[in-house]
Amino acid sequence: MKTYPLKSLTVEEAIALQFKLIDKVTREFSGYEILQNGDLGVHPLNNQPQTTRKVEKVIASLFDAEDAVFVRGAGTAAIREGLASFNFGSKKLLVHSAPIYSTTKTSIDHLNIETVACDFNDLEAVKTILENDDHIGGVLVQYTRQVLEDHYDMAEVIQTIKDVKDIPILTDDNYAVMKVQHIGVQLDADLSAFSTFKLLGPEGIGCVVGKAKYIETIRKYHYSGGSQTQGKEALDVLRSIVYAPVMLAIQATQIDEIVLRLNNNEVSGVKQAYVANAQSKVILVQLDDPIAPELLKVAVQHGAAPYPVGAESKYEIVPMFYRVSGTMLNDNAEYKDYWIRINPMRSGAITVLKILSEAIKEVK
């Protein structure tokens, strides 16, 4: 098996991103304002809470974008409303030729958008399909890996598309934002969509960042008061994501350490371990014996979380021991018995290795 994980920010780079965010805050908020809890309702000036608008400007500036908007429905709604803002009509959406993330597929179906697939790992294939299909009106590119074999470079894919055809590109930056050096819009995509829940933020708030003409269209979808992100919620997002880059960078260091130590045979019963983006960056562990389902049950008793909440949300602090993805299972049924995936969340390598070792011993 060969995997192609995304390159994570170093801890030093993550610290710099945190400092950049705080600097952007000081340019938009006064010292008095940032110590308040925000306003409510459809203010006459922008038909939205003024605090929310200020936070959106901070987020846009952080990612070097023209504008940003919060939406209700987390990352799924951010993708859906981003796609809706492109106003496809009878045009098609170009997607990667791998299984589309289930909630994204639901959104595409809901919007009645016809898709055409192409292997984004093959840039020549991308060029060919764009040159030969005049009905393609936009592109969706998922930043993290849809299948383990994916190895495309986001910057190269976006540049290839833009060189051939001037059509809007939406990047799904869930599981990548604040983990990688640049998100989609910083690489010339038109919109980037992500969930703030995955960045320690409140439940249900998504964000779309990018070109003002599309953001303004999305903002019109939120005309009514009930669809607004209130000022307090926006500040909750801001105060939470401040801590995300460094936390996620530390998590990445522990993933690398765990894989190194497992492959140095520190835990008996482990055949091999890999770093992979499946969706979030995780450890894929291949076991010597077909004990994965039982091991996962036992690991819970040793303190491991058995399933995700928001995939790296504020609620997920202990390591998660979980089955491998549905994509992997569909590819090879044997993965069910021999493989597990681990996300250390906020824990260190020592805790993950302890739980894994104890669980294997108990099952055997």
Is residue 331 predicted with pLDDT exceeding 80?
no
Q: Where are the alpha helices (DSSP H) in 142-291?
A: 154-164, 212-220, 231-241, 244-263
pLDDT band at 225 (very low <50, low <70, confident <90, very high): confident
| pLDDT 10s digits, 140-196 | 999 999 888 999 999 999 999 999 999 999 999 999 999 999 999 999 999 999 999
The rounded distance, in Å, linking the Cα atoms of 31 and 154 is 38
Q: Please state the pTM of the whole predicted model.
A: 0.94
The mean per-residue pLDDT over the stretch 336-359 comes to 97
Nearest to 185 by CA among 198, 168, 166, 165: 168
Boundaries of every domain in the chain: 11-242, 245-363
pLDDT value at residue 278: 77
Is residue 47 predicted with pLDDT exceeding 90?
no
Output the six-digit token pair for 288: 């010597």
Residues in the chain: 364
Query: 95: helix, coil or strand?
Result: strand
pLDDT value at residue 162: 97
| pLDDT 10s digits, 229-268 | 999 999 999 999 999 999 999 999 999 999 999 999 999 9
Q: Which of 66-80, 299-313, 321-335 bottoms out in mean pLDDT, i.e. has the lowest?
A: 321-335
Around 133, how many Cα atoms within 13 Å sit in the side-chain half-sphere?
22
pLDDT value at residue 312: 92
DSSP letter (8 states) at residue 109: H
Distances (CA, A) of 325 to 25, 189, 257, 307, 315: 38, 28, 22, 12, 21
The domain made up of 11-242 has a fold known as Aspartate Aminotransferase; domain 2 (3.40.640)
Is residue 288 predicted with pLDDT exceeding 80?
yes
Is residue 101 predicted with pLDDT exceeding 90?
no
CATH code that applies to domain 245-363: 3.90.1150.130
The rounded distance, in Å, linking the Cα atoms of 207 and 82 is 10
Q: Using CB atoms within 10 A of its CB, is residue 292 exposed (0-12), middle (13-18) or buried (19+)?
A: buried
The rounded distance, in Å, linking the Cα atoms of 291 and 269 is 10
| pLDDT 10s digits, 8-17 | 999 999 999 9
Q: Which helix (H) or strand (E) holds 207?
A: strand 205-210
